[in-house]
Structures are given as C-alpha cells and as structure tokens.
A and B are shown apart, each in its own frame.
Chain A
C-alpha cells in the first residue's frame, strides 16, 4: 500500500515537471501558431492627382457606401504617390462615392459595386496638355475677338 502511494507521488511529480518543461520550452509556442494566407481580392485603387499632375500626397480619403451617404464607411490617407487602395463591401451593391480632399482642394467620384462583385470605377478624367492648350487658346481667342469687336465699333 505504501509502495503504491510512493509510485503515485513519483508519477505526479514526473507529470508536473514534464508539463512545466513543455510549457516553458519553445515547443510550447507552437500552440499559438500563425497561419498567413495571401488571397487575391478585388480591390479599388484611388489615384488622386492635382490638375497639374502632381500627386495629392497626404490627401484625406472618405468612402461612402450607397445606403449610408452621410457617414463615411471608410476613411484613410493617400500615400506619397496620391494612391489609396481599399476593398469595398461587395455585399452592399450600388453607387459608392469616393471623396479626396487636401487643403481645400478635392473632388468626389463615384463607382458602382454590382451584384456580381464587380467594382466599375471612373477612369482618369484628366485632359492632355494639348487639349488644355487648345481649350485655353479657344477661350483666349474669344476674348481677343470681343476686344476687336468693341474696338471696331468705337472707331
């Protein structure tokens, strides 16, 4: 009876010490293992540029979901290249809005999230340099024409 009691105590001590060794050893960390997965998702990339072509670095982005137009669904900041990437909530189809603002400059664009989990966004709407020059010349010529017209009437 006494021998059996000694065996139980010895076994208990072995289990306790073994448990402590397992708990303190690096093997014990494996109980909180990390499982990282890289899964491609359909994201939307916002590219915010001034009309001069300069990126809106640090521009504040606010994304509005279709069913909540007053409160931003997500806010963030553009990187140095004026870019901001996010994944819209595809369970909320409709017309989403993206507003980018920096120092009183900014714009608002819309993109559509369809039921097929597609985001149809506006493309870059900037004008080329040639287009800008032609448009500026057209308006300037209008002003010059006005000047000629009133000069002629006066003479």
Chain B
C-alpha cells in the first residue's frame, strides 16, 4: 500500500498532495473546534504514530508474496481526527528512513491510509448509539472499522495502480501481480481487525477513558 517514488504520474502525485493538504487542514480544524485541550491527546497520537511506523517493518508471508502490517484502522479507532496527521508523520519517517513509500507519493499514500482510518474512526464512534460500555458492539465496531479500513485502502491502491500502468510494461502481468498483492491483504485485514478489537476490549476493561474523546 506504500506506493514508492517513480510509479505514479506527476499529476496523480500532485493531486494526492492537494487532497492530503486539505484533509490535514480539515483534521486540525476539527481537532481545534472539538477538543477543549488538544495537547492532552498528543501523547496518545505520538505513541500510536510510533506503532504505525514500526508496524510497517513487520512482514507477514502470504504466498506467493508478503505483506506488512499497516494499523490504519487502529489509528482511526483510537485517535479519531488525530489519525490523519499521525499517519502523515509516520509516512514521512518511513519514507525518509527506509525508503518505504516515497516523498513524492507521500500525499497519495496518506490519502490511501488516512481516509480509511478516518472512516474507521467514524464507524467506531457510532458505539454511542449502542452503549459505550457494551463489549460486543465495541469489539465488533473496532473489528469492522479496522478490517474495512485495510480492505478499502488496498482496493483503492490497487485500482489506482492498475489505471496508471505505463505502456512500456507488460500490462497483463503487472495487473495480475497487483491483484495478487491486493488479495494478499485480506488475511492481514482479518488479523488487524482482531488485533484492534482486542486492544479496544483491553482498554475498555483497564482504561476506558482512552477510548473517549474529551470534547467541548
């Protein structure tokens, strides 16, 4: 899901930056408006950014390929509006330190992981309609949010890559490889969904306030 430099046309990379810029502004604006003291949530965002950064280094073999953890769903569920800027920071360090992704594609990568994260967060916040202490709905919404975040992100990345395959490549072979890689994200999506649900249930038991956003 981390698209490297030199793969996408310049127009797509620039559009990605424009969209990421807009979403960062929207996220920061919402944070400013919604929270009494946004600084209180920065430690949480910072620690999850570290988890997001390290998770990409953990590869899971899914024959014939291998995929790595992304944790975009967990970010969205725990951080809400903080997820997008946190993912942006994590992507920057991944690109600079390990050439994982790229600086020119950072905008589009942020959108591919950040938008599903925000949607996962929005889905999880619907728990207030079912009772915030309901273990079943908390676990289920966390699982679904995380699972769908990864599946939708992988699908969007695959579609974007398929529609931008350059003519000098063997289009059929590249398309088949992209579809295989996107399919390989399915077991990881299940794994991350279960992991997010376990984290949420654990926090619900030991420190439920970490799942709540202190709003104005």
Q: Which residues of A does B touch, CB under 8 Å?
A: 50-52, 54, 57-58, 60, 62, 71-72, 75, 77, 99, 101-108, 127, 132, 135-136, 139-140, 142-144, 146-148, 150-151, 153-154
Q: A151 — which chain B residues lie within 8 A by C-beta?
A: 43
Evaluate contact between B173 and A104: CB separation under 8 angstroms.
no
- Chain B residues within 8 Å of A136, by CB: 53-54, 57, 97
A105, B4: Cβ atoms under 8 Å?
yes
Q: Compute how far the CA of A94 lies from the CA of B4 in the bound complex, rounded to whole angstroms.
A: 26
Q: Which of B75-83, B128-136, B140-148, B175-183 contacts the other chain? A: B175-183
**Is B177 touching A103 in the complex (CB atoms < 8 A)?**
yes
The answer on a CB contact under 8 Å between A103 and B42 is: no
- B168 interface contact, C-beta 8 A: yes
Q: Is there a chain A Cβ closer than 8 Å to B29's Cβ? A: no
Interface size classification for chain B: 35 or more
B169 at the interface (CB under 8 A from A): yes
**Known A104-B7, A104-B157; further 11 A-B contacts with Cβ < 8 A:** A72-B168, A101-B7, A102-B177, A103-B174, A104-B3, A104-B178, A106-B6, A132-B98, A143-B47, A147-B47, A150-B43
B53 adjacent to A106 (CB under 8 Å)? no
Shortest B67–chain A CB gap in Å is 10
**Contact between B42 and A146, CB atoms less than 8 A apart:** yes
Given contacts A106-B7, A139-B53, contact A146 B46 (CB under 8 A): yes
18 contacts between A and B (CB under 8 A): A51-B98, A51-B99, A51-B100, A52-B59, A52-B66, A54-B65, A57-B64, A72-B168, A102-B177, A104-B181, A106-B4, A106-B6, A106-B7, A107-B4, A132-B57, A135-B97, A142-B50, A144-B47
A147 CA / B79 CA spacing, docked (Å): 14
Any A CB within 8 A of the CB of B216: no
Interface flag for B40 (CB, 8 Å): yes
Closest to B86 in A: A143
Interfacial chain B residues near A51, Cβ < 8 Å: 98-100
Contact yes or no, B54 A62, CB < 8 A? no
